[in-house]
Each structure stands twice: as C-alpha cells, then as structure tokens.
C-alpha cells in the first residue's frame, strides 16, 4: 500500500494574534507543507501491525490515509460499561473482557468514566475486538497509561486478537510496547521503513517470584469477584514481579474421614496483570507444592473462562460441572462443590503430570 501524502496549510486571513506571531518570530511563509511518502506491504500473512514514530512524523495522517474507515472511536454513555458493548451473546462478551485482562465482574458494572486508565485501556481493547470490522486501527495506543500496564496489556491484547482471528493496527509513539505486542509488521515513520516481523519479535520474560506468607490480603480483597473475606487459618502464597505483589492464593483444609484435602479458598490477580496466564501459573506452582506433601488439592470456580482454561490443562481433572441445590446431592457431590450452591460451577482436582 503505497502512499504519497502532501498537506498544505495556507494562511489566507491573518488574525491580530497570528500577525503578531509572524512579526515576533520573523516568519515569512504564507503556507506550511508536510510530505509523507512510503509503502506498507500488507501482502504477507498478518494479524497485528504497528505504525510507530516520534510526534510529528505522520503516524496518524498515514493511518487515516490508508485505513480511515477502520479507526476505532468508541463512545461510552451507559451506567454499566458492559451495556456500551454491541448486541452479542453474553458469554462471548464476558469471555472477550476476560481475554484482554479485564476479568473482574464487579468492575463490569461500573461506568467507563470511573475506571482506572489501565481498566479503560482494557475495555477499549475489548470493544475493538467486538467491532464488526476486518481491520481495527487504534490511534494513540497506550498513550495515557503507565508503561508497565501498557506492556502487559499489549501482551494480553495480542493473545486475544490472534484467538479472534482479527487484524489490529496500533498507532503509537511508544517503542516500549513493540516486543510485548509481538507484531507481524512494523512501519517506522521516523525513517519511513517497513519491516515484516512475523514470528521474529518475542516479549521479554515475566519473572515471577512466589512466597508463602501472610499479611497481603488487604491488597487483593477488593478485587475478588465474590467475597472480600479470607480465612485467617488458610495457607497463603503471594506472587511478586520485582518488589510488587501482584497475585494471591489461599488454601483451606477440607474435612474428610480418610484423606487430606486442601481446596483453593481465594485466588486473586491485580487487574493490571490479568490476561497473562499468571493466575493459572500461580495456581499450578502452589498446588504442586501442596500435593508434594501427599495432600489432595481441589478447586471450585464459577468463572467460565477460567474453568475452560483448566479443562485444557492436563494437570487438572474435572470432577463436576453444573448446579446443585444447597441441600441436595450425596457426600461426594457436597465435597466437590464445597457449598457453591445455586450457581453453575466447575470442580477440579489437581493431578499434576499424571494421566488420571
């Protein structure tokens, strides 16, 4: 896709203020021209592209020239942000929100205006995915969010985009998100250079450190989707990136006449770190630690996306899916559901690397 764009801003009627500016800075020209010329070759297979460069190098101008009908310009008016999305199956919507790392149902009920910048970015990305367009162009991508949030959010986005078989173009002045977005092509407006990079760009490693410790629940309690409490007698682990606690998991002993069982009591990930697979990694590592002491590990979740993720994980075996009445069922069913009554739940046991 070749482009040759010439913009000419001609000043025909000078205001008093403009005349003063000309006089003070000794300006002579009556018109100011910008010229952008290059070629973005989209003949190769791709799903994610980036147009990147410093301010004033023509990023948005070029993107509008080539992909004007594909620009993403959302509006938010509803009391609950999920009502701002187009008509679609609710399960599909909830899965899309979770796929970009916005997986906190209580936050779905808030208006867009009160969300944090990081949450707004995730909502915008989810809405972009839901657009009925072959190509989605996102201008000023990650311009107003913390750089770590931008990087992690970019990685979550690229995973979601590729699963949805969409095409996404980020227009940005930030080079720090390139590796995290793992683009198939990059166009640098500083040099008007195009590079096909599919399979060549890889995100930096996320270094996760996990400790068994207590006293961190207050950091995570507001982000749990069902309950703000955490049993004081639970076994607790915290995951850190650098010095920042970003994920929490707690286990409780379950009564059984013969075997030792611990179930997952709480599993919470801070919103800015969702969509990266960290929650399941924390779950698997800590479950392996506990099961190594000849203790069975179970988990029950009503989050459909997380439940389906565990269904695909060979380290977990499904015990039950569905709804059970609060007073119904036998001892085995009650053990598997752990009082998760009157809502659909997935119940699993950890089997590690075993096949059964």
Which residues make Cβ contacts (< 8 Å) with residue 40, sequence separation at least 6?
1, 3, 49, 51, 66, 185, 187, 194
CB count within 10 Å of CB 203 equals 17
Task: Supply the pLDDT for residue 77.
Answer: 94
Residue 82 is given by DSSP the state G
| E strand map for the chain | 2-10, 31-39, 48-52, 135-138, 167-172, 185-188, 193-196, 209-212, 235-241, 244-254, 261-269, 296-301, 316-322, 345-350
Q: How far apart are CA 87 and CA 227, in angstroms?
A: 30
Task: Supply the pLDDT for residue 290.
Answer: 96
More confident residue, 38 or 28: 38
* 216-236 average pLDDT score: 87
Tokens 């000419």 label which residue?
A: 8
Task: Supply the pLDDT for residue 338.
Answer: 43
Average pLDDT score over the chain: 87
* 182-207 average pLDDT score: 93
Task: Convert the pLDDT of each residue in 90-138 to its tens digit.
Answer: 888 988 888 887 887 888 999 999 998 888 888 988 998 888 888 999 9
* 203-213 average pLDDT score: 92
Which residues make Cβ contacts (< 8 Å) with residue 201, sequence separation at least 6?
178, 179, 181, 182, 183
Task: Convert the pLDDT of each residue in 297-352 to its tens digit.
Answer: 999 988 777 888 899 999 999 998 887 555 444 434 444 444 445 567 899 999 99
Task: Supply the pLDDT for residue 297.
Answer: 96
**Strand, helix or coil for residue 251:** strand
The domains located in the chain, with CATH, are 42-196 (3.40.50.300), 209-350 (3.40.630.30)
The pair of three-digit structure tokens given for residue 342, joined into one six-digit string = 């009157």
Task: Supply the pLDDT for residue 335.
Answer: 40
Does residue 280 register a pLDDT over 70?
yes
The pair of three-digit structure tokens given for residue 17, joined into one six-digit string = 């203020």
Does residue 32 register a pLDDT over 80?
no
Task: Supply the pLDDT for residue 107.
Answer: 87
CB count within 10 Å of CB 45 equals 8
| Edge-to-edge order in the sheet of strand 48-52 | 135-138, 167-172, 48-52, 185-188, 193-196
Measuring CA to CA, which residue among 258, 316, 256, 257 is closest to residue 287? 316
Task: Supply the pLDDT for residue 356.
Answer: 42
More confident residue, 307 or 187: 187
Q: What is the pTM of this model?
A: 0.76
Q: Which residues pair with 112 in a beta bridge?
A: none
Task: Convert the pLDDT of each residue in 39-80 to its tens digit.
Answer: 999 888 999 999 999 998 999 999 999 998 899 888 999 999
Q: How far apart are CA 318 and CA 312, in angstroms?
A: 10
Task: Supply the pLDDT for residue 174.
Answer: 94
Task: Supply the pLDDT for residue 337.
Answer: 41
Phi and psi of 261, rounded to 5°?
-130, 135
* 4-12 average pLDDT score: 83
């Amino acid at each position: 896709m070749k482009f040759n764009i010439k913009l000419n801003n001609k000043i025909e009627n000078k205001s008093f203020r403009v005349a003063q500016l000309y006089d003070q800075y000794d300006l002579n020209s009556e018109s100011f021209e910008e010229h952008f010329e290059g070629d973005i070759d989209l003949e190769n297979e791709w799903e994610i592209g980036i147009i990147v460069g410093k301010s004033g190098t023509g990023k948005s101008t070029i993107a509008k020239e080539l992909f004007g009908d594909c620009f993403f310009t959302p509006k938010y008016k509803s009391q609950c942000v999920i009502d701002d999305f187009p008509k679609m199956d609710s399960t599909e919507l909830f899965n899309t929100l979770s796929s970009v790392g916005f997986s906190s149902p209580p936050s779905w009920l808030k208006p867009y205006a009160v969300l944090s910048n990081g949450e707004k970015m995730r909502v915008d990305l989810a809405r972009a995915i839901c657009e009925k367009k072959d190509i989605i162009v996102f201008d000023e991508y990650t311009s107003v969010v913390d750089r770590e949030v931008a990087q992690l959010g970019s990685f979550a986005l690229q995973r979601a985009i590729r699963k949805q078989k969409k095409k996404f173009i980020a227009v940005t002045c930030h080079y720090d998100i390139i590796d995290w977005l793992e683009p198939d092509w990059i166009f640098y407006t500083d040099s008007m250079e195009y590079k096909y990079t599919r399979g060549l760009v890889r995100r930096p490693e996320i270094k996760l450190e996990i400790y068994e410790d207590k006293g961190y629940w207050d950091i995570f309690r507001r982000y749990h989707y069902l309950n703000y409490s955490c049993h004081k007698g639970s076994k607790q682990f915290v995951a850190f990136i650098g010095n920042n606690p970003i994920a929490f998991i707690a286990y409780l002993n379950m009564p059984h006449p013969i075997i030792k069982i611990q179930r997952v009591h709480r599993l919470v990930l801070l919103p800015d770190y969702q969509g990266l697979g960290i929650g399941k990694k924390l779950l698997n590592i800590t479950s392996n630690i506990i099961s190594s002491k000849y203790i069975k590990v179970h988990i029950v979740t009503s989050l459909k996306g997380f439940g389906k993720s565990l269904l695909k994980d060979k380290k977990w075996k499904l015990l039950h899916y569905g709804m059970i009445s609060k007073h119904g069922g036998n001892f085995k069913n009650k053990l598997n559901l752990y009082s998760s009554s009157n809502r659909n739940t997935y119940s699993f046991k950890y089997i590690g690397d075993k096949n059964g």
